[in-house]
Amino acid sequence: MRTLFTSILISLERCKKWIFTIFIIYWITCLTGIILVHNENSFSLSYRDRIVGNALKNDRASIHFHSGNRFRAALIDCKGNLYSSFIQSFLGLSVVLPYFTVSYQGWIGGIVSVNNKHKSRLKTIRSALYYFIVLTLQYIPYSLVIGSGLKLGIETYRQNKKNNLLNFKVNRTGAKDVLNMYLIAIPLFFIASCFEFLSNWNV
């Protein structure tokens, strides 16, 4: 157990630069989205309505939540976040694609800072705290796995830049770091989903 804990800490130390980079991008694009919808940008508001409307009709977590099945909604949301994070960490092998997916995801997080009437969800301390805590709890595990995936992509590229496709090999140390980050991220995703769907602040 101690060996595993040490291995995770070492991976965290190796990946911290890329994890921090992803986390900052999340918040920069999120704050951009917040500013846009609070300044009544028509494109951002209409996109927000489309995303939320689609979620209310088709997103299983949202449907179960509004049916009163809060814990099941949290489990479904956690599963969805894990799947999304896996895809994005895998995209780290491309080196550049995670920057686009993270920017989009952060922007989405920002434009939902207004409700269906386009009124701010940040007007009260409780509502604002709930909003920012949910985002922070989600952005941390996403940053862990996407940042480690990005590091894996960079190290794999450096390792293979002089090789042909037949000799292509994934960097083993980087792959181990990604797996270790998932050991942290999985429980954090669960905590994030439980807070989002089970908290009495979610009104």
Residue 164, pLDDT score:
67
Nearest of 48, 77, 49 to residue 62 by alpha carbon: 77
Residue 158, pLDDT score:
87
pTM confidence score: 0.93
Any residues with CB less than 8 A from the CB of 113 and at least 6 apart, and which?
33, 34, 37, 38, 120, 121, 122, 131
**What are the pLDDT digits (tens) for 20-63?**
999 999 999 999 999 999 999 999 999 999 999 998 888 899 99
Amino acid (one-letter) located at 12: L
**What are the pLDDT digits (tens) for 157-167?**
888 877 766 67
Residue 162, pLDDT score:
72
Residue 170, pLDDT score:
83
8-state DSSP, 120: B
Residue 2, pLDDT score:
67
Q: What is the DSSP string of 38-77?
A: HTT-HHHHHHHHHHHHHHHHH-HHHHHHHTT-HHHHHHHH
Segments of the chain with pLDDT less than 50: none
CA distance 20 to 151: 12
Domain ranges of the chain: 13-43+70-198
Amino acid (one-letter) located at 41: N
Nearest of 28, 8, 7, 174 to residue 89 by alpha carbon: 174
